[in-house]
């Protein structure tokens, strides 16, 4: 790959004819996708205002007879919304930072260092990439019991990090391999050490794949429940999925409250995501410019 | 770095476990090799949960399946716990409230690593057998004698939780299988009385169907629902209880005529169009909801469903109950499917065994009174003092209570009798006949195969 | 090419923290599972070493296992077929839409929804018309009653209905990943191509496609991971039923190790799952190494 510096997103093709058939078809497609992909949010919002009977009767288009705001107060108070949200944010943030930090170190070593075992380490990570976390529930339980970290947030954060690193290393090392060598060669000439090269040169350039890693990590752990339910017992340490499932009893389920809880749970995420969406893409572009 | 082949990798692994065991010793600062911005998590959480200051303060972990704060059981549990904590300031009860599926999985994982919480929930008989065999639970023989707790339980119900004369758990419920029916819908179809024979029941199904009324509802995604109904048919065709124990004792096989006859009867009911379309994708709640919203005429379920049906707006004063009828003239309607409920057990390894026993004793003593107050006293395992009618229980609830008086024995559900492997085979096999008609002899054979391969 | 020559200590500093955590929490448990797969053990009581009996039973005498493997692999295949569509959408978005971020983000939304909701939503779509199912009602309404199906309970169809839900849920996910990849293709390449007469979709064929090969690899790996781990959604929608019609490897493993309490047997399934992962990883990497060599 050459050292291309003038870049940015794909060049937008200037509109030649204002209304070509292709364009209309394209907008039909894109709008149809908007409907199918965003409708669930609206559906969820309506759902969260229904009674249990209305929800279970399964009418797709039906509106609630009377708006059940009580679902929201149940979710806020009984579902421990605020406490669980803060716990989820804490666990997710620490996990994300941990994944990014640890995996970028390894990826740097694998893709840039001259050493014998780089490939071997890479293969080790590849092996673990597809292992489902749940398959390791019991061994993890025994390990954490001996580490005395059951019923702490560490019992979630550590496996979350461990299970996210393979895919992160896979993505980051792939990207770092594509960064031209000339960059660090000139840095070495300037007298920069390994750590400076890593911190000042490689990391800033790697923002786009790191964003991808962040998003993947988030998706995989935000709704994670099986590990959390097994390792966490104290009320004050529980995360958002506990709130969702707390409305599921042996012989009854309070679906309305679940809906309300999910709206409340998704809301901060959606807001943050849409606020940052611009920045995320800009970060990606900026990364490309520096590369 | 040259010779670092297998040895090198092993070295890494060893270093890894070493590092982990080191963090294990100083369990308060394990932020070392991971996230930099995170020191308060490990420290703060560890200190509070484990090791009470000087043996004075005691924390009891109470794993339970009453998570829903909008469900009366949750409120009543919290009330008793709070009362106890006020009376015993040195005791703190930590509630770990989980939904049923998750609790089962958690307990299994905990049991495998000997981390059973002070109090947990188990199902009766065959389902708790593996835990008892592994000696994970403390016997409660002495505790149940204190404060007359034993006498509050109905006669015989504790037997389902007793192994080798040791009692290991105290149940929260004791239910029977009944058929709820919607009187209005029966009237609309011109059916005067609830059926007393299975043949009549199938005829009613056809009549209802012809009138455009959904005859029965069931949530067969959860598989045990159909099994519960099927076992009641088997209880009849077998002419009485004990079919499964006869199989287990080697006296019968699943290919016995009584079993095949039961499968036939079940298939007749299904093929008559008794159940709603798409039945295997309806979970328990969605199935029950069809009946609760007044859209189905009959609903076979354990008597625990009474509370939910009673509070349903659409069914006010419209619901009656009847005993499951005889099948081909066989069986006694006074023999019921028995469903002793999930039960509280105490970990044998509990660090505060005595305090935990004291608390559970208190909890169970107060259980019936509080359950009665929140209208959850139908199908309790304990005797209840109180005038149900005066307390506002519905006529339907009272007729369910009357059925209890007629109980002359019966069978436990399949998974409470057989080992888990065979039960899974059975559940799948019965679910299958809901979607496609099969040769009944073949279904019986499937059962026999499942049983033999799981012996 | 790796150029930096560094000391062992530096390598250790970069590699060990992550590797130790990874080995201890991912590798060690897998090895433990391999060991427990040779046991007859209910997960609680005493265990008995039975060698490879579990594998013998699983591979040759388990009527559910092979269909479950097939469903899992089909799941992966369907997820991969979605990638070209995602790429096409991503190209449209980055080429013709002025402010694509909103659209990209919107398409992405289903991924963050909890599986509880996804299950409820799709059940109200797939249910029989008499139970309010949207899809069948619409089919009836447009006069295509003969097309209506028992989407979730017909054993021949249920699995496809589940694939479709996954396709819907992850379309935005793959679109986002492809979109990111396209954003990082330097624009001077396109300008050079324009001089050579390649423009529009033709340029995409000759530039975007080959330049995005590494991104395809990520997408395919993710699709595969998602398929192997497609557990929650199936449990919510069908629970593996009717019968075993919608069981995948993960649900079969759950049924065996947790519900049937055959932990050893469940571990054997887990071991096979690991093997499937390994084969998939090798195949994907081998295939892509050849592709990458061809195009870069």
Nearest to A113 among C11, C111, C137 (CB): C11
Q: Quickly state the pLDDT bin for B416 (edges 50, 70, 90).
A: very high
Question: Per-residue confidence at A248, pLDDT binned at 50, 70, 90?
Answer: confident
A60 touches chain C (CB under 8 A): yes
pLDDT band (50, 70, 90) for residue A287: very low
Contact A53 B292 (CB under 8 A): yes
Residue B130: the pLDDT is: 92
Top pLDDT among A208 and C78 is at C78
Per-residue pLDDT band at C83 (split at 50, 70, 90): very high
Instruction: Taking residues B424-445, report their average pLDDT.
Output: 94
Residue A62 has pLDDT above 80, yes or no: no
Residue of A nearest to C96 (CA): A12
Q: Report all structural domains of chain C as residue ranges with CATH numbers, in order of start.
A: 28-112+146-295 (1.10.3720.10)
**pLDDT value for B425:** 93
Q: What is the percent of chain B where pLDDT is above 70?
A: 88
- What are the tens digits of pLDDT across the range C144-165? 888 888 899 898 899 999 999 9
Most confident of A88-97, B279-288, C115-124: A88-97
Binary contact (C263, B112; C-beta < 8 A): yes
Mean pLDDT of the region B212-234: 95
Chain A residues close to B64, C-beta within 8 Å:
none
pLDDT at B256 over 90: yes
- What is the per-residue pLDDT for B88? 93
Whether B437 and chain C come into contact, CB under 8 Å, resolves to no
pLDDT of B20 above 60: no
pLDDT for position B68: 87
- Nearest-CA distance B108 → chain A (Å): 9
Please check the confidence at residue B6 and state whether its pLDDT lies above 50. no
**Mutant choice from C68, C124, C255, C259 vs B, greatest count of B C-beta within 10 A:** C259
Q: Residue B28: what pLDDT?
A: 37
pLDDT tens per residue, range A43-59:
888 888 988 888 877 67
pLDDT tens-digit readout, A93-118: 999 999 999 999 999 999 888 888 88
- What does the pLDDT read at residue B399? 92
CB C72 within 8 A of CB C228: yes
Contact C44 B424 (CB under 8 A): no
**Confidence (pLDDT) at C291:** 81
Mean pLDDT of C192-216: 80
Interface test with B, best of C8, C13, C242, C265 (most B CBs within 10 A): C242
Q: Which residues in chain A are closer than 8 Å to B35, comparing Cβ atoms?
A: 94-95, 97-98, 101, 157, 161
- Average the pLDDT over C209-232 and give the result: 85
Closest-approach residue (CA) in chain B for C247 = B428
Interface of B with C in 230-269 (CB under 8 A): none
Show residues of chain B in contact with C266, CB under 8 Å: none
Residue B26 pLDDT more than 60?
no
Sort out which chain B residues have CB atoms less than 8 A from C127's CB and list them: 278, 281
CA-based nearest residue in chain B for residue A146: B24
| Statement: residue A3 has pLDDT above 80 | no
Residues 6+ apart with CB under 8 A from A128: A163, A166, C22, C26, C27, C30
CA-based nearest residue in chain C for residue A197? C4
Average pLDDT of the segment spanning C155-183:
89
Interface test with A, best of B39, B109, B288 (most A CBs within 10 A): B109
State the pLDDT confidence band at B47, using cuts at 50, 70 and 90.
very low
Residue A135 Cα, gap to closest chain B Cα (Å): 12
Whether residue C67 lies within 8 A of chain B, CB to CB, comes out as no
Q: Return the H-helix or E-strand segment holding B90.
A: none
Tell the residue number behind the tokens 């026999």, with chain if given.
Answer: B448
Nearest CA in chain B to A247: B68
If pLDDT is split at 50, 70 and 90, which confidence band does C252 have?
Answer: very high
Average pLDDT over residues A241-262: 86
Q: What is the pLDDT of residue A282?
A: 56
Q: How far is B271 from chain A (nearest CA, A)?
A: 24
Q: Which of B190-199, B418-427, C110-119 has the lowest mean pLDDT?
A: C110-119
Asked if the Cβ–Cβ distance from C21 to A1 is below 8 Å, we say no
pLDDT at residue B30 is higher than 70: no
Count the Cβ atoms, other than its own, within 10 Å of residue B324.
24
Gap between the Cα atoms of B316 and B310, Å rounded: 7
Report which secondary-structure segment, H or E, holds A50.
Answer: none
Q: Nearest 5°: CA angle at B51, between B46 and B54?
A: 140
What pLDDT score does C278 carry? 82
| Mutate: best of A42, A48, A54, A60, partner C, most C CBs <10 A | A60
Could you say which DSSP state residue C189 is in?
A: H
Give which of A152, A227, A244, A254 to mutate to test B binding, by max B Cβ within 10 Å: A152
State how far residue A132 is from chain C, nearest Cα, in angstroms: 6
SS3 assignment, position B64 = strand
Contacts for C63-67: CB closer than 8 Å, 24+ residues apart: C63/C244, C64/C244, C64/C247, C64/C252, C65/C252, C65/C269, C67/C244, C67/C247
Torsion of CA C97, C100, C103, C104, to 10 degrees: 130
User: Which positions in chain B touch C45 (Cβ < 8 Å)?
Assistant: 130, 133-134
DSSP string, A76-136: IIITTHHHHHHHHHHHHHHHHHHHHHHHHHHHHHHHHB--TTHHHHHHHHHHHTT--GGGG
* Winning range, highest mean pLDDT, from A29-38, A125-134, C109-118: A29-38
Among B10, B25, B35, most A C-beta atoms within 10 A, so best to mutate, is B35
- Cβ–Cβ below 8 Å for A57 and B289: yes
| Confidence check: pLDDT of B21 > 50 | no
- Tell me which residue of C284, C233, C228 sits closest to C253, measured CA to CA: C228
Look at A261-265, B36-40, C36-40, C276-280 and tell me which has the smallest mean pLDDT. B36-40
pLDDT digit string (tens) for B260-289? 999 999 999 999 999 998 899 898 988 998
Q: Enumerate residues 63 to 122 of chain A having a beta carbon within 8 A of any beta carbon in chain C.
A: 102-103, 105-106, 108-109, 111-115, 118, 121
Provide the pLDDT for residue C243: 85
- Chain A hits for C250, CB-CB cut-off 8 Å, are 132, 134
- CATH class (in words) of the domain with range B175-339+394-453: alpha beta
* Confidence band of B308 (pLDDT split at 50, 70, 90): confident
Residue B77 has pLDDT above 80, yes or no: yes
Whether A160 shows a pLDDT value over 90: the answer reads yes
Question: Is residue A154 within 8 Å of B42, Cβ to Cβ?
Answer: yes
Helix (H, G, I), strand (E, B) or coil at B256: coil
**Higher-confidence position of B126 and C195:** B126
Q: C20–B278: do the CB atoms touch at under 8 Å?
A: no
For the segment(s) A80-245, the CATH number from 1.20.1090.10, 1.10.760.10, 3.20.190.10, 1.10.3720.10 is: 1.10.3720.10
Residue C130 at interface with chain B, using a CB cutoff of 8 Å: yes
Q: Is the pLDDT of residue B29 over 50?
A: no
Q: Which of B97-106, B198-207, C147-156, C284-293 has the highest mean pLDDT?
A: B198-207
Which residue in C has a C-alpha nearest to residue A174's C-alpha?
Answer: C214
Q: Is B8 on the interface with C (CB under 8 A)?
A: no
Burial of B366 from C-beta contacts in 10 A (0-12 / 13-18 / 19+):
middle
- Encoded tokens for A118: 């780089």
Report chain A residues whose CB lies below 8 A from the CB of B97.
Answer: 246
pLDDT surpassing 50 at residue B324: yes
Q: Which residue would you say has higher pLDDT here, B11 or A177?
A: A177
| For residue B39, pLDDT beyond 50 | no
Domain with CATH 3.40.190.10 in chain B: 58-171+342-373, 175-339+394-453
Least reliable range by pLDDT among B20-29, B97-106, B196-205: B20-29
The interface pTM score, or ipTM, of the predicted complex is 0.87
Min distance A9 CA to chain C CA atoms (Å): 4
What residues in A contact C29, CB-CB < 8 Å? 135-136, 139-140, 143
Residue B1 clears pLDDT 60, i.e. is over it: no
Tell me the per-residue pLDDT of C234-250, one tens digit each, with 9 for 90 and over.
998 998 878 889 999 99
Q: CA nearest A251: which of B285, B381, B310?
A: B285
Of C111, C118, C132, the CB nearest to A59: C132
**A244–C186 C-beta distance less than 8 A:** no
pLDDT tens digits, residue range C46-82? 888 998 999 999 999 998 999 999 999 999 999 989 9
Q: Kindly indicate the confidence band of residue A19, based on its pLDDT and cuts at 50, 70 and 90.
A: low
C contact chains, 3+ CB pairs < 8 A: A, B
* C7-13: average pLDDT: 88
pLDDT over threshold 80, residue A216: yes
pLDDT score for C182: 85
Indicate the pLDDT class of residue B110, thresholds 50, 70 and 90: very high
Nearest CA in chain B to A248: B99
Beta bridge partners of B175: B339
The domain defined by B58-171+342-373 folds into: D-Maltodextrin-Binding Protein; domain 2 (3.40.190)
Q: Order of strands across the sheet with B169-171? A: B91-97, B58-64, B119-122, B343-346, B169-171
Give me the total of CB pairs closer than 8 Å, taking one residue from chain A and one from chain C: 294
Residue B55 pLDDT > 70, yes or no?
Answer: no
Contact A38 C106 (CB under 8 A): yes
With cut-offs at 50, 70 and 90, classify the pLDDT of residue B83.
very high
Question: How far apart are alpha carbons B35 and B21 in whole angstroms?
Answer: 19
| pLDDT tops 90 at residue B52 | no
Quote the pLDDT of residue A208: 79
Cβ atoms of B104 and C258 within 8 Å: the answer is: yes
* Residues of A whose CB is below 8 A from C185: 7, 10
Residues of chain A found within 8 Å of residue B315, distances taken between Cβ atoms: none
């Amino acid at each position: 790959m050459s050292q291309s510096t003038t870049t940015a997103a794909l060049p937008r093709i200037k509109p030649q004819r204002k209304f070509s058939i292709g364009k209309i078809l394209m907008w039909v497609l894109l709008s149809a996708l908007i409907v199918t992909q965003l409708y669930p949010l609206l559906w969820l919002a309506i759902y969260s205002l229904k009674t249990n009977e209305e929800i279970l009767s399964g009418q797709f288009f039906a509106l609630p007879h009377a708006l059940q705001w009580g679902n929201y107060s149940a979710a806020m108070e009984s579902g421990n919304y605020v406490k669980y949200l803060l716990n989820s944010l804490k666990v997710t943030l620490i996990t994300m930072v941990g994944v990014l930090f640890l995996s970028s170190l390894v990826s740097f070593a694998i893709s840039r260092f001259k050493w014998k075992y780089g490939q071997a380490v890479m293969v080790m990570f590849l092996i673990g990439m597809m292992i489902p976390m749940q398959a390791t529930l019991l061994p993890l339980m025994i390990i954490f019991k001996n580490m005395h970290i059951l019923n702490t947030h560490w019992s979630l954060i550590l496996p979350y990090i461990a299970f996210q690193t393979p895919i992160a290393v896979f993505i980051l090392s792939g990207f770092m391999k594509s960064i031209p060598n000339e960059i660090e060669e000139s840095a070495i000439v300037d007298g920069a050490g390994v750590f400076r090269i890593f911190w000042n040169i490689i990391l800033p350039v790697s923002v786009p794949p790191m964003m991808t890693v962040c998003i993947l990590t988030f998706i995989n752990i935000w709704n994670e429940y099986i590990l959390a339910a097994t390792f966490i017992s104290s009320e004050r340490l529980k995360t958002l999925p506990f709130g969702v499932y707390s409305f599921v009893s042996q012989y009854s389920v309070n679906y309305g409250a679940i809906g309300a809880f999910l709206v409340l749970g998704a809301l901060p995420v959606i807001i943050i995501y849409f606020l940052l969406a611009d920045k995320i893409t800009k970060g990606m572009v900026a990364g490309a410019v520096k590369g | 770095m040259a010779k670092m082949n297998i040895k090198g990798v092993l070295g890494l692994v060893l270093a890894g476990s070493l590092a982990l065991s080191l963090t294990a010793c100083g369990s308060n600062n394990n932020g070392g090799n991971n996230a930099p911005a995170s020191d308060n998590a490990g420290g703060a959480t560890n200190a509070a949960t484990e090791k009470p200051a000087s043996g004075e303060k005691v924390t009891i972990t109470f794993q339970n399946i009453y998570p829903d704060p909008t469900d009366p059981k949750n409120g009543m549990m919290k009330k008793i716990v709070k009362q106890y904590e006020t009376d015993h300031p040195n005791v703190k009860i930590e509630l770990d409230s989980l939904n049923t599926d998750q609790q089962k999985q958690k307990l299994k994982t905990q049991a495998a690593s000997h981390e059973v919480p002070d109090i947990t929930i188990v199902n009766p008989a065959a389902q708790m057998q593996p835990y008892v065999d592994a000696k994970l639970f403390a016997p409660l023989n002495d505790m149940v004698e204190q404060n007359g707790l034993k006498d509050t339980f109905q006669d015989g119900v504790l037997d389902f939780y007793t192994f080798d004369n040791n009692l290991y758990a105290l149940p929260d419920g004791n239910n029977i299988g009944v058929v709820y029916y919607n009187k209005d819908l029966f009237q609309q179809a011109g059916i005067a009385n609830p059926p007393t024979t299975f043949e009549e029941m199938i005829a009613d199904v056809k009549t209802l169907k012809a009138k455009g009324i959904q005859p029965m509802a069931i949530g067969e995604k959860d598989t045990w629902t159909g099994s519960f109904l099927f076992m009641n048919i088997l209880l009849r065709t077998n002419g009485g209880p004990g079919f499964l124990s006869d199989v287990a004792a080697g006296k019968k096989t699943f290919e016995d005529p009584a079993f095949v006859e039961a499968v036939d009867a079940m298939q007749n009911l299904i093929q008559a169009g008794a159940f709603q379309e798409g039945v295997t994708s309806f979970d328990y709640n969605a199935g029950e909801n069809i009946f609760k919203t007044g859209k189905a005429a009959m609903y076979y379920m354990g008597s625990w469903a009474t509370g939910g049906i009673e509070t349903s707006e659409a069914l006010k004063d419209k619901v009656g109950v009847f005993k499951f009828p005889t099948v081909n003239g066989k069986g006694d309607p006074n023999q019921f499917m028995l469903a002793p409920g999930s039960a509280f057990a105490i970990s044998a390894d509990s660090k505060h065994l005595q305090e935990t026993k004291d608390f559970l004793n208190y909890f169970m003593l107060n259980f019936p009174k509080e359950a009665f107050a929140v209208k959850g006293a139908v199908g309790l395992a304990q005797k209840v003092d109180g005038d149900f009618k005066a307390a506002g229980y519905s006529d339907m609830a009272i007729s369910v209570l009357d059925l209890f008086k007629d109980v002359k024995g019966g069978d436990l559900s399949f998974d409470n009798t057989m080992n888990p492997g065979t039960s899974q085979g059975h559940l799948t096999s019965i679910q299958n006949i809901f979607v496609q008609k099969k040769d009944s002899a073949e279904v019986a054979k499937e059962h026999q195969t499942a049983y033999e391969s799981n012996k | 090419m790796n150029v930096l020559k560094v000391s062992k200590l530096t390598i250790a500093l970069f590699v060990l923290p992550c590797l130790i955590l990874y080995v201890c929490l991912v590798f060690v448990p897998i090895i433990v599972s391999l060991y427990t797969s040779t046991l007859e053990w209910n997960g609680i009581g005493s265990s008995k070493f039975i060698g490879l009996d579990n594998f013998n039973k699983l591979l040759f005498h388990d009527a559910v296992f092979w269909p479950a493997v097939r469903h899992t692999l089909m799941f992966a295949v369907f997820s991969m077929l979605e990638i070209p569509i995602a790429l096409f959408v991503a190209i449209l978005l980055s080429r013709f839409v002025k402010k694509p971020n909103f659209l990209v983000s919107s398409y992405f939304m289903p991924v963050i929804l909890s599986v509880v909701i996804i299950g409820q939503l799709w059940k109200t779509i797939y249910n029989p018309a008499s139970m309010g199912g949207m899809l069948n009602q619409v089919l009836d309404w447009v006069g295509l009653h003969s097309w209506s199906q028992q989407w979730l309970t017909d054993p021949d169809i249920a699995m496809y209905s589940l694939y479709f839900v996954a396709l819907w849920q992850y379309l935005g996910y793959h679109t986002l990943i492809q979109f990111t990849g396209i954003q990082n293709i330097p624009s001077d390449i396109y300008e050079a191509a324009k001089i050579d007469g390649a423009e529009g979709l033709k340029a995409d064929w000759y530039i975007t496609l080959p330049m995005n090969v590494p991104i395809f690899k990520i997408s395919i790996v993710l699709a595969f991971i998602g398929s192997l781990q497609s557990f929650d959604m199936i449990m919510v929608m069908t629970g593996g039923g009717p019968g075993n019609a919608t069981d995948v490897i993960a649900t079969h493993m759950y049924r065996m190790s947790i519900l049937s309490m055959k932990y050893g047997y469940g571990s054997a399934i887990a071991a096979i799952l690991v093997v499937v992962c390994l084969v998939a990883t090798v195949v994907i990497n081998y295939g892509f190494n050849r592709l990458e060599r061809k195009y870069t």
